[in-house]
Structure 1
Amino acid sequence: MSTKNLKRYLEQRDARLKTESVEESSESCSDDDELKLQNKFLFLDIEEENGESFVGDKDNEKIVHDEQSKTFGSERKSKCKSKNRKNKKKAKKVPAEADDEMLSSSEKPLNAAGSSSKELLFEKDIFKVDMKMLSGEIEFLKILGQRTSGNQSHRRRKLCGRIVREKNTWPPLNNFGFSMEKASEQGNIWWFKFEHHSTYKVMQELFWSYASSEDHEAIHEILLEQPYHLDSLLVMAEVMRQQEDYQVSRDLIERGIFYCESNFCSHFELNNFNHRLSYDHFENRAFYLLLHQHMQNMLGRSCFETALNLAKLIYRLDSEDDPLGILLTIDVLALRAGKYEYFFQLYNTLKEPKSLDRLPNFVYSFALAHFLTYLKTNDAEELKEANDSLATAIYHFPTVIVQLLNKLNIQPNEDIEKNVYMNVLAHERESEGSKHLTKVYLSLSESLWKESETLLWLEKATLEAVSHFSEHLEELEEWKKIRKLYVGLPRNVERHGFLWNVIRNAEWTVFDPAPPLQSTSRYLSVESPRTRETHSALLRLFTSLVVNERQHIKGNEY
């Protein structure tokens, strides 16, 4: 090879190597940038029902690649390194702003922006839980920030649980015979159960002996020895609440929830709608009751959105039987949280399968939700819908109005007071179940009706509805017959009433109110279930808070 040819060959080789080096540098830069684009969403920790992250979605990957090709395809390596350093600095700012961003995102309606409010939703969609809105810390700190100077800076403890955070003041965790295991499968539904083993069973039986004599000092001694005994935590939390030591009461409840979380088995996914816990299994009840008391605590602190998310979580644990009667509560929680669009989605999705239009709390809350939306948007259509919905509620459950006015210490109008469908005498003639549902709803929703604008609308819309009674006599008589079918109280409705201080029963306890008539447990004292007759289809439906007028109940079986 001549010197001239050799020189040309070396020049071509150097040019080729230089080109390959630049391409490799560009590809490395692109990969890093793609990773940064994806990682900036990782702090959201949003998961689907099956546990898959939204970040891994193919559509998101396509967007990332498109943006990469448009923006980063021709960048130099030095510029990429500089941009990576900037991204790292920005990433450090994310945790400090995460609480506000998470709260803002949780305020969005369930439907995506621009989508129709009538799009198809399922029960698992409606009860999807924002796992970051369960402890109450985010919402409470925002409330404090709004009431002070707007300073929302705060330190965040390490998140050690999905529901509550571990506190430095709590005793160290120890395993003294408490665990969770998979109980059974029914199609795609997995049932789980907590179990008490030898050491825990000794403490449980000791607790029962102390609880029967209301020896709170002895129960306190149990907690000194085993600080995570769940029923003892429930009892002492109630004692502290009655003594108005609310902070200690909340702390005991959160400690119990954290211990349950720490003992979840590896297969149990809290955010999986198909993973359930049966309330009939005695050892599962403490977890239910701890969550319910935590929900009530959040309601007491005006953390309404947190309380709403906890209600969703409790319902998901057994959506078939709804053992704590969440469907008698969630409408009020949604309205107090200002989640009107969510309430409409809930009502429209479950109106048919759960017969929500047969529950007075939902039909009156439906009208109120439209009026509150009108106050927010000044949309005349919402006001018309509110008036029409309230009229329907009155025609279906007429005695609720007088009871509501009495609850608010307002003297009813003479036309209302003398109306044979609405007055006090008419209410006394209602079935036991109908009167109880009215009492429960008014005890929970009283604060929503107290606002002056709401009262003025209620008076005007009620008088308008009453003036048209003669046009709806057939409808009034039909619903009078339907309400007569509300015979007796299902166990979950009794339990719900006890937990909200509407029902009193000296035989029930805070650690096992209104025990299921059929129970399973390893303890001899609760192992033998009481046999029940095979109830009619209505009673089985009513157990899930559904009433069907085509069936008939013989007597008060509950």
Structure 2
Amino acid sequence: MSSRAIRRLKRDQDIIYIPEAITPNGEDDLVDDVDLASDSKPKSKKKQKAVNLFSQLDVEDDRDDMVEDDDDEVTAMADTSTTNKSKKKKKKKKKPRTDEPKLNMDYDDIDGAVGGVGDKIANAKDGTHVLVNKIALLTVDRRFLNADNEMKRIFGSKVVKLAQSKQRGHQKHYHRASVMVTPRESWPRLDKLGLSMHLAESKGHCQYFKIEHSLAYQHVQCLFWEAVDSLDHHNIASVLNMYPYHIDSLMQLSEVCKMSEDLQMAAELIERAVYCFECNFHTLFNFTQANCRLDYSLQENRALFITLFKHLNFVDSRGCHRTALELCKLLLGLDPDNDPLCVLLMIDYFALRASEHKFLTRLCDEWETQRNLSQLPNFAFSLPLALFNEAQDEKGFDDGVVVPCSAADNKLQEALIMFPSVLIPLLDKCGVIMPPCIVKHQFFQSPESRNPDALNLLVKLFVERNFSLWKVPEVLTWLEANCNTVITRVDAGDVLVVDCTKHRQSRYRGTPRNIYRHVILSDLDQVKATLPKDISSEVIMMYDPLPPLDNKAAYVKPARANRMVNNNESYLSLFLRSLLPSYNVENDEGDDQGAGAPVGQAVDFLTESFQRIVQQLRSQRDQDGDDNQAPDTNQDDPS
């Protein structure tokens, strides 16, 4: 390095460190210089980047002259920097002036476009608005569709992973990712079984799909029907071992496991069926958008409805109420007009359990005009409870003090006047005792015999499912206050009381078939006991309970051999049938051995069986006789 460059660096160091050497003195004039120097530091750094250092090589070696030249350069550069800044500010001020007319033109165009769209929307039909509102209301959130995710949010991911690791088997299979369930590593690999989904048609905003069975799947379905007719669950298990993802076999065997109180295996079998369906969905079947429809009257489509309903019950038993609510939206979105499984009878319960009060109030507001939700006991009582809980959540409970809510009070009073038979069963189920002036009042003591059977069934269903929501002390206090108000209105002869009495007698004449189907699929045994005899006497298969009257099937179940009792049958054939359920003379009528051959074979089989039984009895009797003679010989012994 040259001596000139060394002096240059030394001179720069002296200039930089002069303020640091001066600051401790504390003199006024020196402090001013320090402030100026400190202010100029960042500016000098920026300026040095723009200065050409090679131009300074011609500077004289004299140190004083160099300092003077540098001072001049610094002042000149400071002047140029201030002028540049002022120019930039002027440019910034000029930009909005040049852009103002363009922005005004754009806003005018946007206003015109929005106005045109508004005119088009205003001229649309009312049915389109209702359909769009339904789709928006029933949109499913994918984040809350998996019960394992909700369990992780409640208990933590480590606890859930530890529980899943204990359930892993020795054989590991890798499966496709799923939205609704988490496939287990122990599950068998999913092969093509012949289950598929096709797009049938598109109408407006909705797309209608159809599930189809191939010839191979139809063959497996026939094997399943034969296994069910045999009344032996081992035959169903054998079908499932050969075809691990047959839907109806999974559902029926899950029902057997539930009856044997193996709930974990029952839930896992249903999860496997859900996983099979999800892997075979059509690429356009986006079940989260609530615009995909399935016709429940088609036999192939019903399995998806029933599988999701059973999966919903198991998810509820695990305490994952938000997941259950999303599954309710999914089920209701598949056929919102007919609602074949009566999801409306339980969606309010899961909305309250998941604290989704705004969703419930919006559902009641938007669907009241077309579906008359207020005429259902569950919505009549759940809506005021949602309004009450929402008011308490906004202001919070203060040492048990209830925050007043006039809207909730009015709705609850209307519900009590419309359905007075709900109060006493609800209090009994909750185990709560209210003042005698309420419980023994004639208005609430109306017997259930005065109400139609359909209304009694709805009331029973509501009480058995929703009673836990009314056991909160603040809710009971609020309920008691409104009961006193209702009694006052009844004693005063309110017109609403008379109108509601007429409505109860005229609006609940018959019970739709989908309500019975909902009760059968629900895990509420006390409600099932109240079903009428014409329904309970039917042969109900849990994989397809109470098929619709307009059933449509692509293929029919094979005709089963007639095993009804005929008048021409002999007593011997009846006796043989009682011992051998598989015995049937009519199946062998065309045999070459003649009609008497099956009877002879059955007699031979029974003869051999009786001979074996007699031999066992004789051997047992001889053994007992030997045991009885042993003490007699001891008594005859002279010793």
1:522 aligns with 2:554: yes
Distance 1:410 1:438 in 2: 18
Q: Note if 1:333 corresponds to 2:350.
A: yes
Aligned counterparts of 2:183 and 2:137: Cα–Cα separation in 1? 29
Letter in 2 for 1:503: K
* Mapping 1:236-275, distance limit 5 Å: 236-275=253-292
Tell me the equivalent position of 1:314. 331
5+ long unaligned stretches in structure 1:
1-119, 528-558
Partner of 1:498: 520
Match of 1:374 among 374, 377, 391: 391
Deviation of 1:460 (Å): 2.6
Secondary structure at 2:257's aligned position in 1?
A: helix
Q: Secondary structure at the match of 1:268?
A: coil
Q: Distance in 2 between matches of 1:132 and 1:332?
A: 20
Q: Deviations over 1:364-415 (max 9, x none)?
A: 0111112222332337775333222211111111111122112223345433
- Normalising by structure 2, we get a TM-score of 0.59
Once the two structures are superposed, the pairs formed by residues 8-407 of structure 1 within 5 Å of their partners are 122-145=133-156, 160-378=177-395, 383-407=405-429
For the residues of structure 1 that align with 2:516 and 2:435, how far apart are their CA atoms? Answer: 33
For 2:414, the aligned partner's letter is T
CA deviations on 1:296-342 (whole Å, 9 max, x unpaired) are: 11111111100000000000011110111111110110000111122
Tell me what 2:509 maps to: 487
In structure 2, the CA distance between the partners of 1:359 and 1:295, relative to structure 1 (3 Å rule), is same
* Alpha-carbon offset, residue 459 of structure 1: 2.0
Measure the CA separation in 2 of the matches of 1:230 and 1:248: 15
Structure 2 CA distance for aligned equivalents of residues 418 and 448 of structure 1: 24
Question: Is contact 1:185-1:191 (8 Å) kept?
Answer: yes
Alignment length (residue pairs):
404
**Aligned partners of 2:446, 2:558: CA distance in 1, in Å?**
42
In 2, distance between residues paired with 1:375 and 1:418? 30
- CA separation of 1:357/1:490 partners in 2, compared to 1, >3 Å: closer, same or farther? same
Q: Counterpart amino acid of 1:513?
A: P
Structure 2 residue corresponding to 1:460, chosen from 462, 481, 503: 481
Between stretches 262-271 and 381-390, larger displacement belongs to 381-390
What SS class does the counterpart of residue 467 from structure 1 fall into?
A: helix
Q: Which runs of 4+ in 1 moved over 4 A?
A: 146-149, 379-382
For 1:414, the equivalent position in structure 2 comes to 436
Larger helix fraction of residues: 2
Per the alignment, in what secondary structure is the counterpart of residue 351 of structure 1?
helix
Q: Could you tell me which residue of structure 2 aligns to residue 469 of structure 1?
A: 490
| 1:6-60 CA distance string (max 9 Å, x none) | xxxxxxxxxxxxxxxxxxxxxxxxxxxxxxxxxxxxxxxxxxxxxxxxxxxxxxx
Deviates more, 1:461-470 or 1:413-422: 413-422
Distance 1:470 1:146 in 2: 57
Distance 1:147 1:443 in 2: 35
1:43 is matched with which residue? none
Note the alpha carbon deviations across 1:173-204, whole angstroms, 9 max, x for none: 11122211223344443221111222211221
State the secondary structure of the residue aligned to 1:122: helix
Contact persistence 1:281–1:521 (CA under 8 A): yes
Q: Secondary structure at the match of 1:194?
A: strand
Q: Measure how far apart 1:511 and its partner are.
A: 0.5
The alignment partner of 1:132 has SS state of helix
Question: Given that residues 177 and 198 in structure 1 are in contact (C-alpha distance below 8 angstroms), is that contact kept between their aligned partners in structure 2?
Answer: yes
Conserved 8 A contact 1:135-1:163: yes
Cα distance in 2, alignment partners of residues 382 and 206 from structure 1: 62
Question: Match for residue 448 of structure 1?
Answer: 469
For 2:509 and 2:242, locate their aligned partners in 1 and report how far apart those are by CA, in whole Å: 47
Contact in 1 for aligned 2:298/2:551 (Cα 8 Å): yes
1:508 aligns with 2:529: no
Could you tell me whether the CA contact under 8 Å between 1:180 and 1:194 is conserved in 2?
yes
Shift in Å at residue 421 of structure 1?
Answer: 3.2
Which TM-score applies when normalising by structure 1? 0.68
Structure 1 residues 463 and 221: CA distance shift in structure 2, 3 A = same
Is the Cα contact below 8 Å between 1:179 and 1:263 reproduced in 2? Answer: yes
**Residue in 1 aligned with 2:27?**
none
Could you tell which deviates more after superposition, 427-436 or 268-277?
268-277
* 1:524 aligned counterpart, secondary structure: coil
| Contact persistence 1:402–1:412 (CA under 8 A) | no
CA separation in 2, counterparts of 1:194 and 1:247? Answer: 28
Any conservation in 2 of the 1:181–1:193 contact (CA below 8 Å)?
Answer: yes
Aligned position for 2:459: 438
Partner SS state of residue 547, structure 2: coil
- Structure with larger RCO (C-alpha < 8 A, sep 6+): 1
| Alpha-carbon offset, residue 293 of structure 1 | 1.2
> Could you tell which deviates more after superposition, 389-398 or 317-326?
389-398
CA–CA distance in structure 2, aligned partners of residues 235 and 395 of structure 1: 43
Gaps of 5+ in 2: 1-130, 166-173, 397-401, 530-535, 560-639
CA distance in 1, matches of 2:158, 2:479: 31
The answer to whether the 8 Å contact 1:387/1:461 transfers is: yes
After TM superposition, the structure 1 stretch with the greater mean CA deviation from structure 2, 329-338 or 128-137, is: 128-137
SS for the counterpart of 1:321 is coil
Change (3 A) 1:357 1:165: same
Closer/same/farther in 2, CA of residues 147 and 470 from structure 1, 3 Å limit: farther
> Structure 2 CA distance, aligned partners of 1:257 and 1:382?
45
The answer as to whether partners of 2:392 and 2:403 remain within 8 angstroms in 1 is: no
Tell me by how many angstroms 1:295 deviates: 1.1
- Within 2, Cα distance between the matches of 1:465 and 1:159? 57
Q: Is the 8 A contact 2:434 2:480 kept in 1?
A: no
**C-alpha spacing 1:382/1:508, structure 2 compared with 1 (3 Å):** farther
Q: Distance in 2 between matches of 1:396 and 1:241?
A: 38
Q: Residue type matched to 2:437 in 1?
A: D
Separation of aligned partners in 2, 1:275 and 1:408: 40
Query: CA separation in 1, counterparts of 2:193 and 2:159?
Result: 44
CA–CA distance in 2 between the matches of 1:474 and 1:329?
A: 31
Deviation string 1:79-100 (CA, Å, 9 cap, x unpaired) is: xxxxxxxxxxxxxxxxxxxxxx
Cα 1:189–1:121 shift into 2, 3 Å: closer
Q: Does structure 2 retain, via aligned residues, the 8 Å contact 1:158–1:165?
A: no
Report the AA paired with residue 509 of structure 1: M
Q: Which residue of 2 aligns with 1:538?
A: none
The answer to whether the Cα contact below 8 Å between 1:433 and 1:486 also exists between their aligned partners in 2 is yes
Contact 1:395 / 1:472 at 8 angstroms: preserved in 2? no
Deviation at 1:468, TM superposition (A): 2.0
Tell me the residue number matched to 1:29.
none
Aligned-pair CA distance for 1:430: 0.5
Query: How much does 1:226 deviate?
Result: 0.3
